[in-house]
Copies of this chain bind each other. A is one copy, B any other.
Amino acid sequence: MKYDIIVIGDELLIGQVVDTNSGEIARMLTLQGWQLGETRVVGDDASLAEVDAVLMTGGLGPTKDDITKGVLLDYFGGELVYDEAVAANVERVFKARGLELNDLTRAQAWVPSSCRVINNLVGTAPLMWFERDGKVLVSMPGVPHETITMMREAVVPQLVARFNNGEHISHHTMVVAGIIESKLAELLADFEAAMPEWVKLAYLPSPGYIRLRLSASHVDQRLLDETMRSLVLRLHELLGDKIIADEDLSIAAIVGKALAARGMTVATAESCTGGNIAHYITLTPGSSDYYRGGVVAYSNDVKRNVLHVSAADLEAHGAVSEPVVRQMASGVALLTASDCGIATSGIAGPGGAVPGKPVGTVWIAVAVGEHVQAQIHHFAGNRERVIERATTTALLMLLRLLTERD
């Protein structure tokens, strides 16, 4: 099946918030083998294209209901009716949050008679399922948490039931590091040319690594499975240890798996990355198995007093220096009784540059037991990007050191 996504919201058209829903929706439905025609981000109204279904997010909620429901009534006909189940749900949600109901919120219970209502399990705005000429339109609230929960719990299963075509779907994602995109594309040119036309290979580059995804769909499940197996095998032959994960994981999760496999723990000592490495590590469920904690050593006092970095080295070489970052990595491992340490000290900008150390200069050290490795990097971009790049680079450095020592 083919579908469109329409995202409604003036706040998106003015760039004040970023749409993450369309990506989440596309991810879920791609796993069903469905094809997204296009995503349109629009202001007030939306027209239906030549697709099987249109998924709308946004445009609902106490301050926005009128426009969206009006457009839907114009297109699908009917009139607004009071839905007792929705009213009860609005009351339930407000009671659970300890909030007082007001008229604007209560008005969410008025829905077009031309739709089937799907009650919102995690919010007040109801989902609305319309059909016309064999096409489906589902209107959902735009709060990412509500959209994603209701997609998973109700909309995906109901769309699957409605548009089942008998094709089987298979995906395989790998994470590749240590090679740039254009080199990788050269290396895989013959491989890609020899793939069956019902298999697709996607390059998804991030700074420092590339996700590589094979996707295929076929009515013959056995042919599908065998083809995918042999293509994955061939990719391993071609790329060897450049493949750092044989599944779709974050870099922090890949490092976590490598640590857990070795029964090791890690700690973080962050200056310029300001807690972001710890944040990335702890986003992975179960990270407490291999992560004990860390120190955000933003000031020199904290580097000295908590991590026991030498005051003389801080004085002689400055905070952004090899001896300091080495002592931070070893120091935090010792402080937290961890096997490994990761440390960063750099200039994220926009201020803070000193002669010989421009914005983007970052010293990174990783320690595994007694073995400490340090590197200087120069990252381009703004503060956020320097922090992001330093985080990924530090995690990849630890992964490499762990692998090399095997």
Contact = CB atoms under 8 A, between A and B. Distances in A.
A209 to B, nearest CB: 13
A285 interface: yes
B27 A23 contact: no
Contact of A288 (B42, B283, B291, B298): B298
Count copies of this chain in the complex: 2
Question: Looking at A285, A291, A293, A383, which has the most chain B CB atoms within 10 Å of its CB?
Answer: A293
A59 to B, nearest CB: 13
A230 interface: no
Contact of A296 (B42, B180, B275): B275
A41 to B, nearest CB: 4
A353 interface: no
Contacts of A384: 283
A14 B41 contact: no
A349 interface: yes
Nearest to A215: B14
Contact of A383 (B29, B149, B181, B283): B283
A26 B10 contact: no
A189 B172 CA distance: 52
A280 to B, nearest CB: 8
Given A268-B275, A278-B274, A61 B145 contact: no
Interface size for chain A: under 10, 10 to 19, 20 to 34, or 35 or more residues?
35 or more
A164 interface: no
B16 A336 contact: no
A204 B16 CA distance: 8
A180 to B, nearest CB: 6
A203 B64 CA distance: 10
Question: Looking at A28, A182, A384, which has the most chain B CB atoms within 10 Å of its CB?
Answer: A182
Contact of A15 (B15, B23, B149, B381): B23
B279 A349 contact: no
Interface of A: 5, 7, 10-20, 22-30, 35-43, 61-63, 99, 102-105, 122, 145, 149, 180-183, 185-186, 202-204, 211, 213, 215, 268, 270, 273-279, 281-283, 285-288, 291-299, 301-302, 305-306, 335-337, 348-351, 380-385, 387
Given A145-B382, A292-B298, A295-B296, 8 more contacts: A13-B39, A37-B42, A99-B180, A105-B182, A274-B281, A282-B387, A294-B298, A301-B337
